[in-house]
Amino acid sequence: MLIVLIGWFGSRATTRFVASRANGVLSRGPYKASSRAVMLHRRLRVVDMHADTLLWGRDLLKESKSGHIDVPRLLKGNVGVQAFTVVTKVPWGQNINRTSGNSDAIGVLAAMEHWPPRTWNNLLERALYQASELDRAEARSGGKLVVIHNRRELDAYLVRWKSDSQVVGGFLGLEGSQALRGDLGKLDDLYRAGFRMVAPTHFFDTEISGSASGLNKGGLTPTSG
């Protein structure tokens, strides 16, 4: 039992260390902005189109000293809409010049973060699991986090946001189409789970498209047509 407990908590400590290394910043705060910039920022409708937060197992409702975002920091930053872009696969040695999709580091991370075993080797299940984590955060948020699925919900949220600065909207996106395995019919599964944006590729080639950071560097494939 002791060995099991050490392995359980040790794996969590390791993922926290990996997350801190993967989500570092060039300079530490506090950060200062001019009064003019602050006034402009308060008038803006801020929309952030990228965050890998669901990958790292942090509680979205608690302010963190690491990582990109959480609900408290989004509220402080006057962010109106946040895209939660889900990661399903990261090859070992990923880089912006030439990345092969033939390896996968996320399976190890999923196991160490105690994701359900079905996610360890299945990219679609990883996407669906992270979507369910966003839904659970919304349910626990007391109305501070609103997941948006369509134009009607977006319009209603924007009306509310005009008079309530303590609410943030979010929607699901997918970084790369590798979870589809070339089967566009699986888009229905993603849609039902709440996904409303899918990128054909990210850092490596997929069955649907070649990536600028991949090996083939091509465009859309016949599969995507």
In tens, the pLDDT along 55-107 reads 998 999 999 887 889 999 999 989 999 999 999 999 999 999 999 999 999 99
Write out pLDDT tens, residues 10-65: 556 666 656 656 667 677 778 889 999 999 988 888 999 999 999 998 999 999 88
pLDDT at position 20, please?
Answer: 59
54 vs 98: CA distance, rounded Å: 26
The reply to whether CATH 3.20.20.140 applies to domain 45-224 is: yes
How many Å is the maximal CA-CA distance in the chain? 58
pLDDT digits (tens, 9 = 90+) for 135-191: 999 999 999 999 999 999 999 999 999 899 899 999 999 999 999 999 999 999 999
User: If we measure between CA atoms, which residue out of 110, 107, 109, 113 comes closest to residue 12?
Assistant: 113
pLDDT over 90 (residue 225): no
Q: Is the Cβ–Cβ distance between 143 and 167 less than 8 Å? A: yes
Pairwise pLDDT comparison (1 vs 168), residue with the higher score: 168
The CA–CA distances, whole Å, from 48 to 9, 39, 80, 172 equal: 33, 19, 8, 12
Each domain of the chain, given as residue ranges in start order, spans 45-224
End-to-end Cα spacing for the chain: 54
